[in-house]
């Protein structure tokens, strides 16, 4: 009874309000409108309060089928995501969430910050059944949330670590560094490539757009998850495009195309390339022609077009550099300088490359032997001071398809010119009757840039492999031992050795480095053995490698935890050499 009376008491005021609202008396019409407005505000506030206090329940993924068309919470780990799957600019991210019972796809609209792979998140959304396929649909930046403690712990590894024991890292978030095998477009939502180091390669599956071009052979740092592909029986590395970091210290070289290799151009699709030829401009269309009449379209920048009119590009020989893309309008491959290259198609300040000069019309050059050309090229082999004949090549380091041409210097010199050294030279073209080939006659020349770093030799490579490094500066590990006829570098634990012709004032043979196995640097040369009919290798100008010049070898500094790039590791004003000699701690 009491309950009935109470309900009647509470209902009476509401009943009175409703009677006044429905009363047709004109005298109270204004009051009715205010009462209706207040009632509406009250009902909306009540519903909002109800929505806040009634939180959705946390549901295991395997039980989502029981909550069709309901708003629920799911807690799990992000194992994959892809942004704007269809590339139409939609503010949508598709995530895959996993808990202990299963996985579910979450279609997230009006998104916020995207969680890294491996993050433990809470997702709120509707459970949708589309023709028997269940997924969750979430809207708003607050539909997915996580805290600092939910972020994954990232382990830094090398590809060698993964190759030795990949199962140990299955499902973990790891970071590896390597070189990527192909160019990735900033808008590509899925890319299959390879990440490599000196001796390993692993398939790299990139989900979601990177937002920037990643060039072929770029050095990258990739964070992601190791997965096993059962269909192809191999391991792969799954990552997201925005998680790929570029190492700006390594600038990948542009690949040079050959006119004779047109069938292989498709392998370089999307990559930065260079191709030499004669440029013709007709009806605002730019075309690069090769020596046999074959051609490729080129897409210039606005600055290229301006320079062409001012400097007369039409009919001239050039190296065209840009991104190799298929042009559907002209149904041909095209070098595009407008597609994220950050440089012009043609650099008017650069010298003519050797490849460009020879790709125009080599036969016609012999008809004008007095014409001088300024070319940008590289020395193929180390050039001794007394040498006058050698070869120029079109790339600093050896690669397949490297082009070379014989050359003759005017005089001898007092200094070596290292293999791979850049040169800008004034040359004329002559015909060599003895060798039946073209030869460049060098006039004035200037060395530009730095030669490649010394090569690292391994004792196990053997004499044949070493012969490719003859006359170059090399690095070789061993222990310096003094014999009756001089110093030798001995391989640890063996009798293999090379003779050391020491540099002036060397550090590798002083008391501080006595009986220490170290990395030595010197010019590898081959000479006759003093007493036997044989050729032997020597290291000329040899000394222990000392990067920072503090007269402590890199090997000794590394063994003592010192900085090989600083002559004063601990910054106390006393150089590392003096601290070691005084038996004090250079790391204190």
Q: Around Cβ 167, how many Cβ atoms within 10 Å?
A: 8
- Whether residue 121 contacts residue 115, with contact meaning beta carbons closer than 8 Å, is answered with yes
Question: Strands 455-456, 473-483: parallel, antiparallel or unpaired by DSSP?
Answer: parallel
Q: Is the pLDDT of residue 143 over 60?
A: yes
Residue 96 CB coordination number (10 Å):
17
Picking from 87, 91, 119, 121, the residue whose alpha carbon sits closest to that of residue 107 is 91
> Tokens 């042009």 — which residue?
327
Predicted local distance difference test score (pLDDT) of residue 56: 74
Place of tokens 């964070």: 223
Give the CA angle between residues 312, 314, 316 to the nearest 5°: 90
Q: What is the pLDDT of residue 354?
A: 65
Tokens of residue 441, six digits: 């006659």
Entry pTM: 0.56
In this prediction, residue 47 has a pLDDT band, given cuts at 50, 70 and 90, of: low
The CA R_g of the chain, rounded to the nearest whole Å, is 36
Q: Tens of pLDDT along 116-128?
A: 888 899 999 999 9
pLDDT of residue 266: 87
pLDDT of residue 351: 61
392-438 pLDDT per residue, tens: 988 888 776 678 899 999 889 989 999 999 999 999 999 998 888 88
Confidence tier at 8 by pLDDT (50, 70, 90): very low
- Across 53-182, the runs of DSSP E, i.e. the strands, are 71-83, 92-99, 102-109, 120-130, 133-139, 144-145, 155-156, 173-180
Among 90-104, 105-119, 520-534, whose mean pLDDT is lowest?
520-534
Q: What is the arithmetic mean of pLDDT over 375-380?
A: 90
> Do 59 and 67 form a contact (C-beta atoms < 8 A)?
yes
Query: Quick one: pLDDT band at residue 445, thresholds 50, 70, 90?
Result: very high
Q: At what angle do helices 29-53 and 2-22 cross, to 10 degrees?
A: 130
Is 374:426 a contact under the CB 8 Å cutoff? yes
**Helix ranges, 23-148 (H):** 29-53
Separation between Cα atoms, residue 348 and residue 312, nearest integer Å: 11
Can you say how many angstroms the Cα of residue 70 is from the centroid of all Cα atoms in its chain?
Answer: 45
CA dihedral 303, 304, 310, 313 (to 10 degrees): 170
Burial of 515 (0-12, 13-18, 19+ CB in 10 A): exposed
pLDDT of 551-583, one tens digit each? 999 999 888 888 888 888 888 888 888 888 887
* CB-CB neighbours of 401 under 10 Å: 13
Q: Is the pLDDT of residue 319 over 80?
A: yes
Count how many Cα atoms sit within 13 Å of the Cα of residue 326 in the half-sphere of its side chain: 6
Strand 285-289 to 389-393 pairing: unpaired
- Is the model's pLDDT at 22 over the cut of 60? no
How far, in whole angstroms, is CA 581 from its chain's centroid? 43
User: Does 379 have pLDDT greater than 90?
Assistant: yes
Is the model more confident about 198 or about 28?
A: 198
At 254, give phi and psi (nearest 5°).
-70, 135
Segments in 374-450 forming alpha helices (H)? none
Residue for token digits 């409108």? 33
Classify 113 as helix, strand or coil: coil
Q: Classify the C-alpha dihedral 28-31-32-35 as positive or negative.
A: negative
User: Domains in the chain and their CATH numbers?
Assistant: 2-53 (no CATH), 61-150 (2.40.50.140), 155-246 (2.40.50.140), 255-350 (2.40.50.200), 358-448 (2.40.50.140), 455-545 (2.40.50.140)
Q: Is 57 exposed, middle or buried (0-12, 13-18, 19+ CB in 10 A)?
A: exposed
Contacts of residue 70, defined as CB under 8 A and 6 or more positions apart, other chains included, come to: 56, 126, 127
- Output the pLDDT for position 508: 92
Contact criterion met (CB below 8 Å) for 107 and 143:
no
Contacts of the segment 571-575: beta carbons below 8 A, 24+ positions apart: 575/550
């Amino acid at each position: 009874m009491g309950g009935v009376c109470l309900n009647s008491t509470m209902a009476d005021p509401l009943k009175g309000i409703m009677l006044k609202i429905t009363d047709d008396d004109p005298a109270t019409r204004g009051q009715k409108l205010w009462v209706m407005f207040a009632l509406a505000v009250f009902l909306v506030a009540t519903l909002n309060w109800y929505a806040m206090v009634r939180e959705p329940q946390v549901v295991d993924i395997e039980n989502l089928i029981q909550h069709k068309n309901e708003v629920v919470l799911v807690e799990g780990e992000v194992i994959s995501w892809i942004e704007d799957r269809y590339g139409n600019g939609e503010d949508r991210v598709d995530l895959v969430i996993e808990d202990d019972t299963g996985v579910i796809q979450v279609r997230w609209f009006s998104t916020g910050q995207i969680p890294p792979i491996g993050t433990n998140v809470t997702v709120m959304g509707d459970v949708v059944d589309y023709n028997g396929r269940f997924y969750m649909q979430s809207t708003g930046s607050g539909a997915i949330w996580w805290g600092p403690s939910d972020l994954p712990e990232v382990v830094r590894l090398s590809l060698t670590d993964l190759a030795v024991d990949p199962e140990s890292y299955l499902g973990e978030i790891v970071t590896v560094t390597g070189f990527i095998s192909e160019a990735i477009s900033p808008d590509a939502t899925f890319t299959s490539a390879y990440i490599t180091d000196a001796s390993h390669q692993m398939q790299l599956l990139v989900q979601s757009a990177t937002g920037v071009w990643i060039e072929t052979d770029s050095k990258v740092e990739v964070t992601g998850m190791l997965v096993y592909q059962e269909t192809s029986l191999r391991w792969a590395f799954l990552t997201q495009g925005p998680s790929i970091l570029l190492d700006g210290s390594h600038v990948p070289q542009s690949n040079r195309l050959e006119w004779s290799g047109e069938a292989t151009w498709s392998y370089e699709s999307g990559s930065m390339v260079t191709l030499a030829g004669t440029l013709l401009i007709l009806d605002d269309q730019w075309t690069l022609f090769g020596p046999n009449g074959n051609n490729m379209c080129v897409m210039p920048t606005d600055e290229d077009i301006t320079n062409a009119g001012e400097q007369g590009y039409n009919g001239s020989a050039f190296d065209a550099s840009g991104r190799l893309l298929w042009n559907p309008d002209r149904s041909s491959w095209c070098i595009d300088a407008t597609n994220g290259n950050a440089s012009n198609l043609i650099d008017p300040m650069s010298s003519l490359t050797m490849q460009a000069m020879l790709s125009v019309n080599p036969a016609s050059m012999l008809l004008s032997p007095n014409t001088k050309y300024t070319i940008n090229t590289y020395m193929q082999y180390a050039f001794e001071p007394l040498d006058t004949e050698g070869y120029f090549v079109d790339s600093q380091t050896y690669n397949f398809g490297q082009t070379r041409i014989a050359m003759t210097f005017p005089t001898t010199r007092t200094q070596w010119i290292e293999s791979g050294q850049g040169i800008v030279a004034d040359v004329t073209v002559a015909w060599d009757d003895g060798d039946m080939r073209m030869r460049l006659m060098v006039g004035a020349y200037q060395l530009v840039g730095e030669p490649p770093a010394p090569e690292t030799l391994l004792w196990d490579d053997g004499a044949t492999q070493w012969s490719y490094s003859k006359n170059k500066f090399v690095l070789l590990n061993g222990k310096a031992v003094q014999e009756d006829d001089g110093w030798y570098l001995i391989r640890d634990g063996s009798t293999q050795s090379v003779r050391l012709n020491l540099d002036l004032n060397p550090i590798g043979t002083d008391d501080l480095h006595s009986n220490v196995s170290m990395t030595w640097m010197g010019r590898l040369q081959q000479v006759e053995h003093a007493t036997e009919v044989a050729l032997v290798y020597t290291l000329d100008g040899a000394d222990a490698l000392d990067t920072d010049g503090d007269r402590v070898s890199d090997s000794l500094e590394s063994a003592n935890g010192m900085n090989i790039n600083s002559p004063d590791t601990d910054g106390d004003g006393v150089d590392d050499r003096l601290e070691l000699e005084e038996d004090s701690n250079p790391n204190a």
